[in-house]
Amino acid sequence: MNRSELRTAIKDRLAIPSTGDGLITDTYVNTSINDALNRISAERDWWWLAATATLNFDSVNGAATLPSDFMRANQLVINSSAVEQITFEDYINPLFDADTYGWVIYGSQVKITPVPSTTTPGTFYYFRSEPALSSDASSPLMPGLYHYAVVAYGSYLCAARRQDESRASLYLQEYGNWLKTLNDDNRASIKKRIQFDRLADYASWE
């Protein structure tokens, strides 16, 4: 469904008359749809949100900017090998060995250590967020089979705005049921990260 169809589905659930509703306007429903997509994006590492980006790490700080749609990291590959992820706590520890090869999320950046001598490209595997639907013709990245999860959560938000607690509770329960279905399908569709059996397989650079 596109945004127009999602909005119609939510308004049908709420039995909004053709004359409109002072509380549940089209603008509010549109906002609820995007809020629902944000909520779903944050729930899990969904297979349809898996993405890659080419990052170029500078020779000053070993840093590259995260993609604008970044939600959660998965893996970094340099020179055709996975880079070992290090914890933020280890990275900022004054006793951390700066010669240890690894990567870390640092604010809005990905950083590698040690700092390379020249700009070094890498392939960053990550999970993105659902983009906001900015027009009635735009549709979620989520497969159409699951769009009623958006309808359920959007209906919950709208019922809560009306202070209709009983309906809000039902819609939230429906969203929870959809989430279980999504989780089951997701487990069958995605591998969490690229697997390398030996430490020697981890990447290094100059």
Amino acid identity for residue 204 in this structure? S
Give the model confidence (pLDDT) of 38-66 as tens digits. 999 999 999 999 999 999 999 999 999 99
DSSP-derived secondary structure letter, 141? S
**Mean pLDDT to the nearest integer, 95-104:** 88
pLDDT value of position 193: 47
**Mean pLDDT to the nearest integer, 92-112:** 91
Q: How many angstroms separate the first and last alpha carbons of the chain?
A: 49
Residue 70: pLDDT over 60: yes
Class of residue 196 by CB neighbours under 10 A (exposed 0-12, middle 13-18, buried 19+): middle
Q: Is 137 helix (H, G, I), strand (E, B) or coil?
A: coil
For the entire predicted model, the pTM comes to: 0.84
pLDDT band at 118 (very low <50, low <70, confident <90, very high): very high
pLDDT value of position 72: 94
d(CA 73, CA 194): 12
pLDDT value of position 157: 97
**Residue 34 CB contacts under 8 Å (≥ 6 apart), including other chains:** 132, 133
**Mean pLDDT to the nearest integer, 73-86:** 93
Average pLDDT of the chain is 91
pLDDT value of position 194: 47
